[in-house]
Amino acid sequence: MEISETKSLLHWNYFLALESDVERLSRFVEFTSSNFGTYSVEIAHLFLATASEVDVVAKLLCNQVDGTTKVDNIEKYRNVLRRCLPEIERSIVTIPRYGLELHPWSSWLNNETPEWWQAHNKVKHQRGEHFASANLMNLLNAMAGIFLLILYYYRDGEEVRSIEPPPSLFTPPPDLAFVCPSLGGRMRLTFAKDHA
C-alpha cells in the first residue's frame, strides 16, 4: 500500500491545535466580559504560544506582500501590513457561540501596538510582575490576530482557494473568507470570490 501526500498547511494546522485548546478552555472559563481578566498558567501557556506564532506569521506575510522591506518587530509589521493590507486594521473576527466580536488589529488605526501584544511582551519578559496580563481577553485577541494573519497569508499565497477543516470556534470576516460545504459535503473555509 502506498500513501500519497500533498503539501500541508503548517500554520493552519498549528492554529487549529491552538483553537482546540482554547475551545477546551471554554468548558472551564465562560467567554464573557466578566471573565476577561481571568488568568492562569494554562491561559499564559496558550497566550505565549499564540503570540509567538503571530511573530512568525506576521514576518512571513510581510515578506509575501512586500519582499523588499526587512521586518523584525511589531512596528515594522504594522508599517508593511497597513500599507499592503489596509483592511486588516478594520477586520473583525467573531466567536458566534459566545456573541463576541474581536478587533485585534484596530489599534493600528492610531499607529499603536495592540494592547494584547504589549501584554505578551510583559508576560514573556517580566512574568512575575505581569502574570495577570496572561488573561482571557488578551488570549482571545491574540487568537483573532493570528487567525487573520494566517488567512491573509494563505489567501495571497500559492493557489490556496479553500482550507479543510474549517475553524470550529472563530469566524472570519465575510469579505475575507466564509465556511461552506465542499462538493463531498465536508465543511471547508473558502476565500471570498473577489480575492480568488
Q: pLDDT digit string (tens) for 161-178?
A: 788 899 999 999 999 999
> Mean pLDDT over residues 74-91, rounded?
96
> Mean pLDDT over residues 126-151, rounded?
97
Model confidence at 193, pLDDT cuts 50, 70, 90, reads low
Q: Which domain holds residue 134?
A: 10-160
d(CA 50, CA 116): 11
Whether residue 140 lies inside any domain: the answer is yes
- Give the pLDDT score at 151: 97
User: Which among 116, 146, 144, 105 has a CA at the least distance from the CA of 39?
Assistant: 116
Model confidence at 195, pLDDT cuts 50, 70, 90, reads very low
Whether residue 178 lies inside any domain: the answer is no
> Over the chain, what is the mean pLDDT?
93
d(CA 87, CA 97): 25
| 84, 124 Cβ separation under 8 angstroms | no
CA distances 168 to 21, 109, 161, 180, 189, Å, are 11, 29, 19, 12, 11
- Give the pLDDT score at 196: 43
Enter the C-alpha cell of residue 110: 492610531
Ranges assigned E (strand) in 7-84: none
| 48, 140 Cβ separation under 8 angstroms | no
Q: pLDDT digit string (tens) for 94-132?
A: 999 999 999 999 999 999 999 999 999 999 999 999 999
Whether residue 4 lies inside any domain: the answer is no
Burial per residue of 170-179, b for 16 or more beta-carbon CB atoms within 10 angstroms, e otherwise: bbbbeebbbb
- Give the pLDDT score at 177: 94
Whether residue 19 lies inside any domain: the answer is yes
Model confidence at 156, pLDDT cuts 50, 70, 90, reads confident
Does the structure show a pLDDT above 70 at 190?
Answer: yes
Whether residue 189 lies inside any domain: the answer is no
Give yes or no for a cis peptide into 181 (omega within 30° of 0). Answer: no
Whether residue 21 lies inside any domain: the answer is yes
- Give the pLDDT score at 184: 73
Q: Where are the alpha helices (DSSP H) in 126-168?
A: 127-130, 136-155
Beta strand 162-163 with 177-181: parallel, antiparallel or unpaired? Answer: unpaired
Whether residue 184 lies inside any domain: the answer is no
Whether residue 179 lies inside any domain: the answer is no
Total domain count for the chain? 1
Does the structure show a pLDDT above 90 at 64?
Answer: yes
| 64, 153 Cβ separation under 8 angstroms | yes
> Mean pLDDT over residues 83-101, rounded?
97
